Copies of this chain bind each other. A is one copy, B any other.
Amino acid sequence: MANINEVAKKAGVSVATVSRVLNSPNVVTPRTKAKVEDAIKKLNYEPSMLGRNLRNSESRLLLVLVPSISNPFYIDIIKGIEQSALDQNYNILLCETDSNPEREEIYFDLVRKKMADGIISMDPAVNIETLKELSKQYAIIQCSEYSEESDIPYVTIDNEEAAYRAVKHLIKLGHQEIALFNSNEKYLYARERKEGYMRALQEYGLPINDEFIIMTDQLNFDSGIEATKRIMNLKDRPTAIFSVSDLLAVGALKEMNRTGVKVPEEMAIIGFDNIEFSNMTYPTLTTIAQPMYQLGTVAANMLIEKVNGGEVTNTILNHELLIREST
């Protein structure tokens, strides 16, 4: 495979000139440019990014840390990231941590070893201490989930307000007994969404029933079924569910269908995220729409800005309540 030297020789110029034709074509005479381009074509030359990256001390790769690609919530974010990255000549290294610290370390090593120029972390279970440490030296952005006491820049939505609006919607429909399917409150978003849930209840003078608050350890379909079974076994059942994840809500829906409980008549359900699938269920799922794609593009732009030494400010994007058939 030809390298820049051979091209230079064939074109009768120096390697510097070849490089210039490639990188700043305007500083070179049309005649030499033509000669060089001719040689490039004849030799089928493709500049090696390995050499270039070494020289430029960059990899033009962005690490995207995701807890799981099975959760469609992340898919649209990833699409947004990929688009922004491509637009700026970056590529993404998609890394699924599975909340496994060992894997996480493998991926962190990629940036330590210069194989990635920066990180977008979306993993709520990320080792925040390591992340903080890394952020002193490398460009890092948190997307969706973030840590308050780090000063790692983030992009997210107002989770408290979104949850508040969701629950308020249920209350307005006449529900007084509303369950909350939440995840572990060690995660900020879980705490914030619970805050919103409680604020809505309080505002309308409704009691907070601890039995109605279910903590699931994973945001997936099975946990949704599990949680639903638990509330359905209560003597005093709620009439509505606010779930912090569409996947949990889909599980709830399934369990309702299985046991013949009518949605929304006997049980209203509202999810969170607006994953593509929430529109395919029976009935379709009312949910809080997060601007996933935009979360992605903004995160990527912030990261690239930071990689290039720029300053970057935290961003809160808008959410939206999508009322569909399940409420």
Contact = CB atoms under 8 A, between A and B. Distances in A.
Interface of A: 46-51, 53-54, 57, 59, 61, 69-70, 72, 75, 78-79, 82, 86, 91-96, 103, 106, 109-110, 112-115, 221, 250-251, 253-254, 257-258, 276-277, 279-283
The 5 closest A-B pairs by CB, nearest first: A257-B282, A94-B94, A50-B54, A49-B115, A49-B113
A204 to B, nearest CB: 32
Given A51-B54, A79-B69, A112 B46 contact: yes
Nearest to A63: B91
Interface majority SS (helix, strand, loop, mixed), chain A: helix
A283 B253 CA distance: 11
A280 B257 contact: no
B96 A82 contact: yes
Contact of A282 (B221, B253, B276): B253
Contact of A276 (B61, B70, B93): B70
A164 to B, nearest CB: 28
Contacts of A94: 78, 82, 92, 94
Contacts of A257: 282-283
Given A72-B72, A86-B103, A254 B280 contact: yes
A280 B48 contact: no
